[in-house]
Amino acid sequence: MLTRIDHIGIACFDLDRTVEFYRATYGFEVFHIEVNEEQGVREAMLRINGTDDGGASYLQLLEPTREDSTVAKWLAKNGEGVHHIAFGTADVDGDSEAIRDKGVRVLYDEPRRGSMGSRITFLHPKDCHGVLTELVTSAPSRH
């Protein structure tokens, strides 16, 4: 069962400049920064609030580290902006299978490693009214 909005992914050309905008404008501070080599991105997670299920909601800022990454291709086509929405779940495997059984294309056969040690998969935007949708099971210590 999907329990919360885990994060909103925002593609950007300059991570440091974008982080500074969110810090200066809204007071959001960086909770976590990492490079995900598999996905070809440098990312910052800005924690917005805690949630009833013990998780949290974030803004995820994504800067491509190589031109062939999905985010780089998306930026070239669309420019900066909202890239995806992610919903939190205690069981990314079970929920992705249940959603697949409803006719929605799940982009990964098996969930992959995401930010801060989470497990993730994506749903095809053409099956989700044009929205790239991510399902996330947080790592146990992520709050």
Evaluate whether 32 touches 15 at the Cβ level (below 8 Å): no
Give the ranges where the chain is alpha helix by DSSP (H).
Answer: 15-26, 70-78, 92-101
Catalytic machinery residues: 7, 43, 60, 84, 134
Quick: pLDDT tens for 111-141: 999 999 999 999 999 999 999 999 999 888 6
Considering the entire predicted model, what is its pTM?
0.89
Mean pLDDT of 83-93: 95
